[in-house]
Amino acid sequence: MSRPYNFSAGPAMLPEPVLRQAQEEMLDWRGTGQCVAEMSHRGKAFLRIAQEAEADLRELLDLPEEYQVLFLQGGASSQFAMVPLNLLRKQGDAADYLCTGSWSKKAIAEGKRYGAVRVIDGSVDGRFIRVPAQDSWAPNPEAAYVHYTPNETIQGVEFPYVPETGSVPLVADMSSTLLSRPLDVSRYGLIYAGAQKNIGPAGLTLVIVREDLLKEPLPGTPTMFRYKTHADAQSMYNTPPTYAWYLAGLVFRWLKALGGLQEMARINERKAKHLYAAIDASDFYDNPVEPDCRSWMNVPFTLADPSLDERFLAEAAEAGLLTLKGHRSVGGMRASIYNAMPEAGVKALVDFMADFERRYG
């Protein structure tokens, strides 16, 4: 069976070997006679799955010991609240937020419910086409943390640098970029990511947090919104998303077998360069983002004649290239090319785009 290439921004494609292994193990995980989804989260079999997944993730990221990994639910959107609830010492404390697109805006709106949020605005005439240069802003030394979005999934804008924040903890929403390349975790206080872009299926949210930040949250914070609750219980305070955790573990093993994040980065860079080169070489397609801030993961582009959008999408789908419609707030097209998108998928898209331009351009 030949599967189509799915360019969805999330939930996104999963690596085919991962799906095959899950299929093989569906009815009987390693002689237990059980599907992983049927197992007690406190049983021996699942604990092994959980611990192996964490060990593999730690190895992939070369995670320093003082960082804990939490396997949570609620999506990155819950983290928009959990971060201020747990990192502000008291209601109204200062926090800095870099605003570079739709997802940082949402994090800022939630942060403002709890803290005195200062926004460092990266927009240019109301558009998000680059990030603020490091030397154009300085963190407030009184801030509890600096929050930013290294990859803006909707605008396709990516930070080419890790913000320098001195002793102020750096917090990053890495939902659409975690595991796409090597990462120096020691630069961060806290990293979070919804799984459905680059890590696994929806339903799992990863939080990587430096232990000294696991303090008492603001008064009134629900038990489930307290990092310490989950850190103290190895993410098993309540029933964790067991099957999603298992599938993420298979993805981690797939990444290791591929050669780790360095190799993944080489592949991702090739995919992105190939697609941007095709867009730049044409007058028919356009990407508005400044070249050094272009995302490797999400590539928005427009057609010179938007009245051809529907035809483009229909013919692409017929050619097995799915979910290329841009986010409703931006319009045009968007190709999300996460880890699980094969290079052949990007080649097929570029070939289709050239052919479409020949016929309609």
Ligand X SMILES: *Cc1c(COP(=O)(O)O)cnc(C)c1O
| Contacts to ligand X by CB under 6 A | 10, 75-77, 103, 149, 153, 173, 175-176, 194, 197
Q: Which of 29, 173, 271, 296 is catalytic?
A: 173
The tokens of 3 are what?
């599967």
Identify the active-site residue in 29, 103, 245, 296.
103
Minimum CB separation of residue 337 from ligand X in Å reads: 14
Residue closer to ligand X (CB basis): 148 or 284: 148
Catalytic-residue membership of 212: no
Whether 173 is catalytic? yes
Question: 29 an active-site residue?
Answer: no
Chain centroid offset of residue 103 CA = 11
Least separation in angstroms between CB 284 and ligand X: 28
Among 105, 197, 271, 325, which one carries the catalytic annotation? Answer: 197
CB of 21 to ligand X, least distance (A): 24
Question: Closest CB to ligand X among 7 and 103?
Answer: 103
CA 37/CA 30 separation, integer angstroms? 14
Q: Cβ of residue 118: shortest distance to ligand X, in angstroms?
A: 20
User: Which C-beta is closer to ligand X: that of 190 or that of 303?
Assistant: 190
Nearest to ligand X of 194, 200 (CB atom): 194
- The set of catalytic residues is 103, 173, 197
